[in-house]
Amino acid sequence: MEDAFLPARGVLFDNDGVLVDSEASVVASWSRWAVDHDLDPAEVMAAVPGRRAADTVALFVPPAEVAASTEKITRYELESVAGTTAVPGVLELVPQLTGVPWAVVTSGVRELATARLRAAGVPLPEILVTAEDVTAGKPDPEGYASGAHRLGLAPADVLVLEDSASGIAAGQAAGCRVVGVGRDALRTAADVVVRDLTGARWTGAGLLLPAAALLRGVGTAG
């Protein structure tokens, strides 16, 4: 497989699973929350990826309890943020984006997203689109459409980096090309899929992904 080059003028990153590895915190926090509510942790965890916490909570508790229960899971996740690390390649790629329009579009709330980025040592973006900023979470394209607009770019000129099926669908529905990150992205229609961001390089005209990181190249979906 050859290196993959994706032309772009700006980048929109998902946070968890793309910039930061918060899996241990997410599993521990949501499992704790599930036990609190006499739910099966595995069933709850299956609903978490790519969703805003409030949207996940709403699947399992009565409407009147959603606000308080969402506050609880956010507190649990904030309490366990210290173990968050950067996804391989991120700390080398982000500094290359100086002067390049880029932002983070996450299903997480602002306080949690910021805490995880700081814990992982990832530079904070000037633009951060969070759960509080949208009326509909992923797979709705609102977050990524808003991110592109705030960068001052057309969606077609923006590259989205995502790991979840709902996030990849959201990016593509917004009109962006999408790089899938991680093996789960192989089950999606992402334009290209990488193991992580090791060796990823911004060329000035787009993102160059090394063959060694590719799980699926450009034009080989399906």
Active site residue 16: yes
User: What is the C-alpha separation between 150 and 154, in angstroms, rounded?
Assistant: 10
Specify the 3-state DSSP secondary structure of 205. coil
Q: Which of these is catalytic: 3, 14, 36, 140?
A: 14
Q: Which of these is catalytic: 3, 16, 157, 191?
A: 16
User: What is the C-alpha separation between 43 and 112, in angstroms, rounded?
Assistant: 23
List all residues 6 or more positions away from 207 whose beta carbon is below 8 Å from its beta carbon.
5, 6, 8, 11, 159, 179, 200, 201
Closest to 168 in 3D by CA, of 133, 143, 135: 143
Residue 138 near residue 170 (C-beta atoms within 8 A)? yes
Active site residues: 14, 16
